Structure 1
Amino acid sequence: MTDIELGALLADASQAAAYFVDIHDRAALVEAANALDFTVAAANLAAADDKDALLEQIAEALQFPATFGGNWDALVDSLGDLSWLPAPGYVLLLDHCTDLRDAAPDDFATLLDILDEAASAHARAGVPFWALLPVTSPDA
């Protein structure tokens, strides 16, 4: 894909959701998001082996307010708001997610549902919210 195609894709809020992407496309996606003045945040999940560590990494990456409750409901609320990070769009990168997916599959499935819900909520307002999970193979 060219940068123009990536930019057009990322700008389309109706397409935004949680997606696994090839690790080799990560840099181009970040570059395209930056060109659109999107907020780009990366959560390193390498050491996140449970829900608490996962939520902590996302909260840190997106600079959640100190009042963040550290549970699924608080994640839904925080992802749906993001008023402290005003931007025309958002890209949340969840780096090194495969260990968490293997260690806590139920929590990982819940996370994906919440991310898709956040993307849908933002899309209704015309704001793209992408959650990208870079992996080494596209069929992961």
Structure 2
Amino acid sequence: MTDSGFDMGLDDPQRAGVYAIGDGDAGGLAAMARDAGLRVVRIDLGGCQDKRTLLARLATQLDFPAGTGRNWDALSENLRDLSWLPGRGYALLFEDAGPLREHAGTDFDTLLDVLQEASASWAEDDVPFWAFLALPDLGVADATQG
């Protein structure tokens, strides 16, 4: 059990994946992830409404190595590596993901796919990799893949 008294199993790679959370849930979830020994990265997607901005924001906030491409393949490759961000596991908290979903639905769906593939890849190495996307409360249930 974690220090918070509530164990979500965040240290279990087989349970890890991509999940939608409510807009106000990132703070508490970040604390639980830290309690579980995960490397927590909060990614602010405020105002992000297109692929170009999304990929630039991710490269900056995840501190991708210099010269990293700005395309889906490069994002996938970097998310499966993260050697420059050492950790026993990872929890990426995407704050304010609603505008991206609303204005660039196809890119949002591709992001979900890339994140899910990264989580599955890390699970093969017994490393938990979680991605939590904060969305407006309305419509959260159908926002991510199960």
Shared fold (TM-score, shorter chain, > 0.5): yes
Question: Counterpart of 1:109 in 2: which secondary structure?
Answer: helix
CA, structure 1 residues 16+64, in 2 after alignment: closer, same or farther (shift >3 Å)?
A: same
Per the normalisation by structure 2, the TM-score is 0.87
Task: Kindly state the Cα deviation for residue 4 of structure 1 after the two structures are TM-superposed.
Answer: 4.0
How many angstroms apart in 1 are the aligned matches of 2:24 and 2:51? 27
Percent sequence identity is: 40
Deviations 1:16-64 (A, max 9, x none): 1110012333222111111233211111111211101101111122111
Correspondence for 2:122: 122
Q: Which runs of 5+ in 1 are unaligned?
A: none
More helix by share: 1
* Whole-Å separation in 2 of the counterparts to 1:138 and 1:19: 15
Q: Is the 8 A contact 1:20 1:138 kept in 2?
A: no
Q: Which runs of 5+ in 2 are unaligned?
A: 141-146
Whether the 8 Å CA contact 2:11–2:37 is kept in 1: the answer is no
* Structure 1 segments of 4+ aligned residues over 3 angstroms from their partners: 2-6
State the partner residue of 1:16: 16
Tell me how many residue pairs correspond in the alignment: 138
SS at structure 1 position matched to 2:110: helix
Q: CA RMSD in A?
A: 1.6
Normalising by structure 1, we get a TM-score of: 0.91
Partner of 2:106: helix, strand, or coil?
helix
Q: Which residue of 2 aligns with 1:45?
A: 45
